[in-house]
Amino acid sequence: MFSSHKRVRAALAGVAALGLTGLAACANYSTPTTAAPEGSASGGAVSLIEPGKLLVCTHLSYKPFQFKDDSGTVVGFDVDMMDLVAKKLGVTQEIVDIDFSQITSGAVFAAKKCDVGAAAVTITDERKQAVDFSDAYFKATQALLVKSDATITDLAGLKGKVLGVQTDTTGQIYAEKNKDANGYTIKVFDDMPSQLAAVQAGTVDGAVNDNGVVFDYAKENPTTKVVTEFDTGEQYGFLTQKGNTAMVDTMNEVITAAKSDGSYNDIYKKWLGSEPQA
């Protein structure tokens, strides 16, 4: 995101330090267990924080990648993909909902809050300095959401108006980069639901976020519409602690196998409503 969840440094250095300290204080420092992936070509056992569990950090809600359904169960594209990783390791997935910046900064791994992160995270060079990514598993762009009766069709149409962004995402980076040229002001939201709901409420004139979540929102909320996409060339990756090559290898094997055996296409169509583009 969160590219696409997608995707700006999350907070001031002092805030980030406080967040890391808080995580460390409540971390589970039990001795990691190991799980040998079935049919793995990586040649190394994967270390897990808790026996029999793959702890997956995400940031809710980011539909259709990770969100709670009517029963309160966390479901979505990323959840299904992580279920495949858990199955390969012979364990079950357990989801940890946590601040997005703590995932992309690697703080959750240092504090042993989770084994991997799956939150529609865009692979960037800056993030690679803090975490290790899997191979790309999803292509994304940024998209602009406005009210259905608005005459705005692009960023230029937001001159003198307010554009909503989600903190710590590539959408925020894109909006900040184009702010001066288009003359809008930016309002930052902590999560995607409040950001896009602000378009409906009229407290912002538009919102930029990853195309997958924006199109999904417009489909379910017909008083809004997507007027344009921005080809930012983003790709999502799953992430883990820096140097955790066994986990990276396992995730890459799962992504490759899923694309080969058709299960990736099934998951894509289930949550996006169409086959992935070639």
For every residue of 46-63, DSSP letters joined together read EEESSTTEEEEEE-S-BT
Longest CA–CA separation in the chain, Å:
58
This model's pTM is above 0.85: no
Q: Which fold has domain 140-234?
A: D-Maltodextrin-Binding Protein; domain 2 (3.40.190)
* 57-94 residue pLDDT tens: 999 999 999 999 999 999 999 999 999 999 999 999 99
Domain ranges (residues) in the chain:
13-138+235-272, 140-234
Could you tell me which residues come within 8 angstroms of residue 208 by beta carbon, excluding any fewer than 6 positions away? 142, 143, 144, 145, 163, 164, 165, 171, 174, 175, 230
* 141-196 residue pLDDT tens: 999 999 999 999 999 999 999 999 999 899 999 999 999 999 999 999 999 999 99
Average pLDDT over all residues of the chain: 88
* 186-213 residue pLDDT tens: 999 999 999 999 999 999 999 999 999 9
Specify the CATH number of the domain 13-138+235-272: 3.40.190.10
- Asked if pLDDT for residue 96 goes beyond 90, the answer is yes
276: confidence class by pLDDT, cuts 50, 70, 90: confident
CATH topology of 13-138+235-272 equal to that of 140-234?
yes
